[in-house]
Amino acid sequence: MYKKTLPYVILQLAIGIAFAVLGVIYLSFIGWLGYRFLFGSGGASLLIVGIVMIIGFVTYAFIWRLIQKYFLYSVKTGHVAVIAHIVEEGEVPDNQISYGMREVKDYFVETTALFTVSMVIDAVLKQFNRAVARVEDLIPIPLPKQLQTLITILQKSIVLAVKYLDNAIIAYMFVDRNDNRWKSARDGIVLYGKTWKMVLGSTLLIVFGMYVVSFVLLTLAAPLAVGLDLLPTSLELVSWLVVGGVIAVFHTGVFKPWVKTVVITTFLIEQRDTEPDNETMEWIASHSDRFKNEVMEKAENNEPIAEEAPETGGPSETPAESGSDPADD
């Protein structure tokens, strides 16, 4: 499946490389200016240099987030649409990049609508998994206190897995093709509720493997530290930026699309022999107020997804429940 969507993988990798190169150039320039004014003849105070560098970093981060939100996420969701098509139809669509982008535009109309649904799904899955996917409850034997740190890490891994699980729900929406978009999202979440142990378990294993590989790549870069220490300070900083950029590009442009492909495929296959039912729907509603008060209500009223963005804050919400930015997927 991963090889069948290589055009999308290569596109995301190419975009990542382009922006990584721009990022290294921009951040190196900011660092060089700071070094020159601080240790050269610029005569600027540490406070002024610090402020300039912070403004430069914040500006870069802001621009990067805008690009992610209004361009890259549409590309990533186009990839989701192609994966869903291949799983259901058994064939690769012609000119898959155009097909994926067209599917996103036809089904979600605009990027803000896609973000609306993604953020709500993300918030619901976090609430649901936090309530039912407790590591202590999933292990049938009592665990010693010495393993509490491991349990905490595993619990946090479940939060990381949500970033890929909401892609699986979006993939189901492309397969379902329901004109009532919120009903499609509701049914996708219900189907996840019926298969969550298998889907979440496999997702955790895959995500864990991805981070292990990324860590191995980072350790392989460690010998470079000896050589980089021999370089002038300014060149050493640039070199480390390049190394970090290469690892980040492979992590986001190669490993994450692979994880996304496997998670979506697993979910779409697992849900084939199941149907949404009221019992599971009510069970999920009892563990997620966002599902009960937002998804179910909007599905019942057939509300358009592009009408408004999801509200954040409120008395029944915590920041963790409001959903993370889908652009991080």
Would you give per-residue pLDDT tens digits along the chain (329 residues)?
778 998 998 998 888 788 777 877 777 777 776 666 666 555 556 667 667 777 877 887 888 778 777 778 889 999 999 999 999 998 999 999 999 999 998 888 877 888 889 999 999 999 998 888 766 655 556 666 666 666 677 767 777 788 889 999 999 999 998 999 999 999 999 999 999 888 888 888 887 787 787 778 777 766 665 565 565 655 656 666 667 777 777 777 788 888 899 999 999 999 988 999 999 999 999 999 999 999 999 999 998 876 544 443 333 344 344 555 555 66
What is the pLDDT, as a whole number, of residue 316? Answer: 39
Tell me the DSSP string of 179-242. Answer: SSHHHHHHHHHHHHHHHHHHHHHHHHHHHHHHHHHHHHHHHHTTTHHHHHTTS-HHHHHHHHHH
Cα distances (angstroms) measured from residue 167 to each of 73, 74, 300, 303: 11, 12, 23, 21
Q: Taking a C-beta distance cutoff of 8 angstroms, is the pair 30, 234 a contact?
A: no
Question: How long, in residues, is the chain?
Answer: 329
Nearest CA to 5 out of 87, 72, 63, 74 is that of 87
Determine the pLDDT at residue 235. 62
Residue 95 near residue 81, CB atoms below 8 Å: no
Q: According to the model, what pLDDT value does residue 254 have?
A: 81
pTM of the model as a whole: 0.78
Q: Which residue has the tokens 């649409």?
A: 81
Contact 291, 284 (CB under 8 A): yes
N-to-C CA span, the chain: 19
What single DSSP character describes residue 306? T
What pLDDT was estimated at residue 309? 42
Q: How far apart, in whole angstroms, are the C-alpha atoms of residue 89 and residue 104?
A: 18
Domain ranges of the chain: 3-328
Q: What is the pLDDT of residue 247?
A: 73
DSSP 310: P
